[in-house]
Each structure stands twice: as structure tokens, then as C-alpha cells.
Homo-oligomer: A and B are copies of this chain.
């Protein structure tokens, strides 16, 4: 393959990723076909998604990975700075700010937060995100740092609060991204503003006494 042909291939791939992310974010993963993605990306070949990515699942994973490398790198840097910190807030920040800072760096409009919310709500593709999270070294390290600083919790409560926190961050970011895009976000608000509110709330959630009889 000539190098200009390789360049075109990589441009097409990038165009398909960006287009698919936007369409999935707006309409849901299930409502949009591979063919619609190819068409919206201006590809004369309706099988462009199949050719470049394989299945829709492979496409979803490729979109996730396009962002997760940057988020993972930000979290590793942040963790290196908070090593040994006795402040719970520092560790909770490592769970929230790599995502909000990544979103800030992309400018407006972004589609990533709404895309993740749609995938999280999908009956089968949601498992792809769970797998990505499990394989994230930085997420594991951030959670472990946090658990050192909170009272010991039963394993099922830990799992449950992890789910609650994850859903809160994913869907709050998606709602803010939509508000930003539609021009309905409060005028002086920023992603840092959102992150600060989420960190406060997550600290409260993780420190909350467990009163439930189980």
C-alpha cells in the first residue's frame, strides 16, 4: 500500500470514529446502523464500518479506546502527584478529574460523555465498558488509595457504591455536555465546577454510614 493510500485509510477511520460517536451520542447505539455511520461520514462504500472496524461492537470499543488512552495517562500523572496523600479528596479527584479534564481539552461540542452514557444504558455493550474499567491499572490504583482512607466497608457495599459513583459521574457529565451543547449550562460553569461538585458528593457517598440490615 502506498503511503498516501495508508494516510487516506487512517483519515477515513478517524472520520468514521468521530461520526459514529456523534450519532451514537445523539440517537443511542442501537438506533444507528453501520450503514448510517458510513453514509453520514460521506463514504460511498456503505460497508466502510465493516471494512475498517469489523462489527458494531468493535466500532464501539475503538471509540472508547480513542479517549481512554488520554484519560488513563492523565490519571497516572495525577496518581503520581498524590502518592502518600492523607486527603481522601485527592484520591476521589483521581476518579473524576481525568475525565472532566479530558472533556475540557476537547473543547465544545464534545460527544464523548453522552456516548458513554448511551453505551452504559445499552443491555449488552455496557459490558464493554465494565471490561475496560477492570483492565485500567490507574483506576484500580486510585480506588485502592481511596479505600485506605475510608472506614472498612462490606464487599457488597463497596461494589454497590462503586456502581452508584460510576453512574453518577457518567450521567452528570452527559447531562452537562448536553447543556453546554444546547447553550443551557449556567453561564459561569466549567468542567472544573462540575468536577468539584462530583468530588464533594462522592466523598459524602463513600463516607456515609452503612445502616442497612442485610
Q: Which residues of A contact B (CB under 8 A)?
A: 26-28, 30-31, 89, 117-118, 120-123, 156-157, 160-161, 163-164, 167-168, 171-172, 174-175, 178, 186, 188, 193, 196-201, 203-214
Contact = CB atoms under 8 A, between A and B. Distances in A.
A191 B186 CA distance: 36
A200 B210 contact: yes
A167 B160 contact: no
Contact of A117 (B27, B121, B200, B201): B121
Contacts of A27: 30-31
A121 B118 contact: yes
A39 to B, nearest CB: 17
This chain: how many copies in the complex? 2
A164 B201 contact: yes
Contacts of A31: 27-28, 30-31
Given A121-B174, A167-B171, A204-B208, 16 more contacts: A27-B30, A30-B31, A120-B171, A121-B121, A121-B171, A163-B172, A164-B198, A164-B201, A167-B167, A167-B168, A168-B168, A196-B214, A201-B205, A204-B209, A205-B208, A207-B208
Contacts of A206: 204
28 contacts: A27-B30, A28-B31, A30-B31, A89-B211, A121-B171, A123-B178, A156-B186, A163-B172, A164-B172, A164-B197, A167-B167, A168-B168, A171-B171, A193-B212, A196-B211, A196-B213, A197-B212, A200-B208, A200-B212, A201-B208, A203-B209, A204-B204, A204-B205, A204-B206, A204-B208, A204-B209, A205-B205, A205-B208
A193 B172 contact: no
Contacts of A161: 197, 201
Nearest to A190: B214
Contact of A175 (B156, B163, B178, B186): B163
Contacts of A123: 26, 178
